[in-house]
Amino acid sequence: MTDSPITGSTATPAPAAAAQAAPSDSGLQPGTLIEPARQRAPGTAMIAIDAISKWYGDFRVLHECTTAVAKGEVVVVCGPSGSGKSTLIKCVNALEPFQKGQITVDGTKIADKATNLPKLRSRVGMVFQHFELFPHLSITDNLTIAQRKVLGRPKEEAHKRGLDLLARVGLSAHAKKFPGQLSGGQQQRVAIARALAMNPVVMLFDEPTSALDPEMVGEVLDVMVELAREGMTMMVVTHEMGFARKVADRVIFMDQGEIVEDAGKDDFFGKPRSERAQTFLSKILQH
């Protein structure tokens, strides 16, 4: 079996045939529907979100949200701003506490007091809207610091893995630079590589392209598409409906803290059931 090039993980193998069917450097055309190739393991939820609710004081941010992301599945979460989608995804690695319900990630219950949250988070990759690379560290150090200090990997091994991934996102030439010297798109690619360096079992993306100049959105989405094709389990908060059409298995639509629609991609784009989702889609697809 071949390791998938980006994830380097054998946990979510991409079948060899599928890898050929979807070569990583294929010129991606907007709107084309390429059925993602991955091993689906129905019933084994990587992320199980069970009736979670969250309040800021009296204000209810999340209300009884329930959904699941299966191993190898790509789920896109969309919705108007303030709908709670970013909050929901931050609950998955416990960056945001919630008051009710339970989230289980790869068998570990987050709301369980005995859960070692740092340990859990080290297995869940997260990519932020504003990249959040560490500006005082070189790109190489950004890629290796958590591998060494959290996972305890030897320096050489961490280096090798970091630089391999940097090459995979096409930024080898920038290893010695600092984040401030890179463009937004480049920083976000480094941030993806940094998360992948930890060999995560799942990747969370919180509006990864919202803070980018338009001409840089493509390069980041390309990396994400490739990652999806390699079989990474992904939960992606985004407004990039082109990305959703291309690689998502399911689309979750949120509004006012509730999951309004949770449907397969084709169903969602073809015939959204709720009026709110219809309105939302008509607004963002208009232009």
Partner 1 sequence: MFQNFDFGVVASSLPYLFGQGMVFTLTLTALAATGGVVFGTLLAMMRLSGVPGLWHAAKLYVELMRSLPLVLVIFWFYFLVPYIGAWMTGSPNPIQVGAFTSALITFTLFEAAYFAEIMRAGIQSIPKGQTAAAQALGMGYAQTMRLVVLPQAFRNMLPLLLTQTIVLFQDTSLVYVLSLTDFLGAASKVAQRDGRLVEMYLFAALVYFAVCLAASFLVRRLQARVAIIR
* Chain residues that interact with partner 1, rule: CB under 8 A: 90, 93, 95, 118-119, 121-126, 128, 130, 132-136, 145-146, 149-151, 178-181, 194-195, 198
* Residue closer to partner 1 (CB basis): 122 or 256: 122
Report the nearest approach of partner 1 to the CB of residue 24 (Å). 26
Report the nearest approach of partner 1 to the CB of residue 212 (Å). 15
Report the nearest approach of partner 1 to the CB of residue 126 (Å). 4
* Residue closer to partner 1 (CB basis): 206 or 261: 206
* Residue closer to partner 1 (CB basis): 207 or 249: 207
Element (H, E) at 254: strand 250-255
Q: Which residues contact 277 (CB under 8 A, 6 or more apart)?
A: 253, 255, 260, 261, 268
Structure tokens at 84: 């709670």
* Residue closer to partner 1 (CB basis): 121 or 276: 121
Report the nearest approach of partner 1 to the CB of residue 118 (Å). 5
Structure tokens at 268: 């969602």
Gap between the Cα atoms of 211 and 90, Å rounded: 18
Residues 14, 231 contacting (CB under 8 angstroms): yes
* Residue closer to partner 1 (CB basis): 118 or 270: 118
At 275 the three-state DSSP class reads: helix
Report the nearest approach of partner 1 to the CB of residue 222 (Å). 22
* CA angle centred on 208, ends 177 and 200, rounded to 5°: 80
